[in-house]
């Protein structure tokens, strides 16, 4: 069925298989006339290289694995695009795996990448997978952590200072005169969430008049946010500010607060700030204040570091940390000129 191999091309062109291979991989080593002759045969027979065979010989594939927590979160697709763009320049493809915050699926993807002998792996991990990544490294597959540093710093990472971001968010709320803040997010096993909360706590502690309550979720989704928002809106005593662990959650909270029947006003009654500054934040019911992260840049940089590690496996791990940035829109400040 498939059946056109280098051997067939070689026979058709009247050369040896070695020459056919050279035409494809080292054309300079082959006489121009032969190159064209072989090319012609390739086209004529519709030959397509069998990547498995090439990989087998080569030792590893031309792909890079990327495992993200949630493909539906635009932040991660932006990271993916950044990585993809950089990878393409190297002739590598990015295989995007979606762990959906499920350790079993994360594990399954790592196994897949290992079986495929990927060039390397970028991962935004759920729990602690240092051991797993060490095994990969032992097999010659480097890994770079994305959006999260490794506990013992043995792996390179590209992060954003989530503690600073969390502090930034709550300090902004405080500077807008809010004192009863609710943090909505979870699970806390996700490091980013824990860090953002820690930052929030730092800010709150620095201002004793401020209280900080934590509402935990079991997933960072619009749905989960909606549920938490409904619960808060139904309270007798409302908080005056909500800090959501990411924009998806914030959008869900916002939907619930604005539902007809509820008479909560944003930002008058409750100020709301999210995290990530996804494209949709600016287009929300009430344009959403958020903490911006350079998503594309993160993916790009992570891939860059990965390439260095491939080239030089013994280099010591690198840690790049980006600074987040506060974007103020109407959801926290009635007078804000909404940034786009």
Partner DNA sequence: ACTCTTCATTGAATCGTTTTAACTATGCAG
Partner DNA sequence: CTGCATAGTTAAAACGATTCAATGAAGAGT
Tell me how crowded residue 86 is: count the other CB atoms within 10 A of its CB.
21
Verify binding: residue 61, a second copy, rule CB under 8 A: yes
CB 280 within 8 A of CB 251: yes
* Chain position carrying tokens 């952590």: 145
Helices 103-115 + 130-138 axis angle, to 10 = 0
- CA 176, CA 120: separation in Å to the nearest integer? 45
The nearer residue to DNA, 59 or 208, going by C-beta atoms, is 59
Tokens of 167: 């502090």
Running DSSP on this structure, what letter comes out for residue 315? S
DSSP state of 316: P
Q: What angle do CA 315, 317, 318 make, to 5 degrees?
A: 110
Per-residue interface string for the shown chain with DNA, residues 218-247, x marking contact by CB under 7 A:
------------------------------
Of these, 102, 111, 213, 321, which contacts a second copy (CB under 8 A)? 111
Per residue in 184-196, is it b (16+ CB within 10 Å) or e — as a string? bbbbeebbbbbbb
Which 213-252 positions form the footprint of a second copy (CB under 8 A)?
222, 226, 251-252
Q: 58: which 2 tokens?
A: 């080569």
- Stretch of 7-15, 102-110, 150-158, 304-312 contacting DNA, by CB under 7 A: 7-15
Which position among 158, 284, 291, 306 is part of the footprint of a second copy (CB under 8 A)?
284
Query: Is residue 5 a contact point for DNA (CB under 7 A)?
Result: yes
Taking Cα atoms as reference points, which of 44, 185, 12, 7 lies closest to residue 101? 185
Whole-number Å distance between alpha carbons of 92 and 307: 10
| Footprint on residues 55-74 left by DNA (CB under 7 A) | 56-59
Residue 15 lies near DNA (rule: CB under 7 A): yes
- Does 150 interact with a second copy (rule: CB under 8 A)? no
Q: Is 36 in the site for DNA (CB under 7 A)?
A: no
**Diameter over CA atoms, the chain:** 86
By CB under 8 A, the residues from 319 to 338 that bind a second copy are 337-338
Binding partner of residue 338 among DNA, a second copy, none, CB under 5 to 8 Å per kind?
a second copy
Binding site residues, DNA, CB under 7 A: 2-3, 5-7, 14-22, 24-26, 29-31, 33-34, 47, 49-50, 53-54, 56-59
Binding site residues, a second copy, CB under 8 A: 1-2, 46, 48-53, 55-56, 59, 61, 71-72, 74, 77-78, 80-81, 84, 93, 95-98, 111-112, 114-117, 135, 138-140, 222, 226, 251-252, 254-255, 259-260, 279-280, 282-287, 337-338, 340
């Amino acid at each position: 069925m498939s059946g056109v191999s280098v051997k067939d091309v070689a026979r058709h062109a009247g050369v040896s298989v070695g020459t056919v291979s050279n035409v494809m991989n080292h054309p300079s080593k082959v006489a121009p006339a032969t190159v064209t002759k072989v090319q012609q045969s390739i086209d004529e027979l519709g030959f397509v290289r069998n990547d498995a065979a090439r990989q087998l010989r080569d030792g590893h594939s031309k792909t890079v694995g990327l495992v993200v927590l949630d493909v539906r979160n635009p932040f991660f697709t932006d990271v993916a695009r950044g990585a993809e763009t950089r990878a393409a320049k190297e002739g590598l493809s990015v295989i995007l795996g979606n762990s959906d915050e499920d350790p079993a699926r994360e594990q399954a993807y790592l196994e897949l990448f290992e079986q495929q002998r990927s060039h390397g792996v970028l991962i935004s991990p759920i729990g602690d997978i240092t051991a797993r990544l060490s095994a990969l490294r032992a097999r010659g597959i480097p890994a770079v952590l994305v959006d999260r540093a490794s506990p013992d710093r043995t792996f390179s990472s590209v992060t954003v200072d989530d503690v600073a971001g969390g502090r930034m968010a709550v300090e902004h709320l405080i500077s807008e005169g809010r004192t009863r803040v609710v943090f909505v997010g979870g699970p806390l096993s996700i490091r980013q969430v824990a860090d953002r909360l820690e930052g929030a706590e730092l800010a709150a502690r620095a201002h004793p008049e401020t209280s900080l309550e934590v509402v935990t979720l079991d997933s960072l989704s619009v749905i989960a946010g909606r549920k938490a928002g409904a619960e808060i809106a139904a309270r007798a005593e409302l908080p005056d500010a909500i800090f959501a662990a990411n924009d998806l959650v914030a959008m869900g909270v916002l939907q619930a607060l604005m539902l007809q029947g509820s008479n909560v006003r944003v930002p008058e009654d409750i100020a709301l700030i999210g995290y990530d500054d996804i494209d949709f934040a600016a287009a929300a019911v009430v344009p959403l204040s958020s903490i911006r992260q350079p998503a594309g840049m993160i993916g790009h940089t992570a891939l860059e570091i990965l390439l260095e590690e491939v080239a030089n496996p013994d280099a010591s791990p690198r840690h790049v940390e980006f600074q987040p940035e506060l974007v103020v829109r109407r959801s926290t400040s009635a007078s804000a000129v909404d940034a786009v």
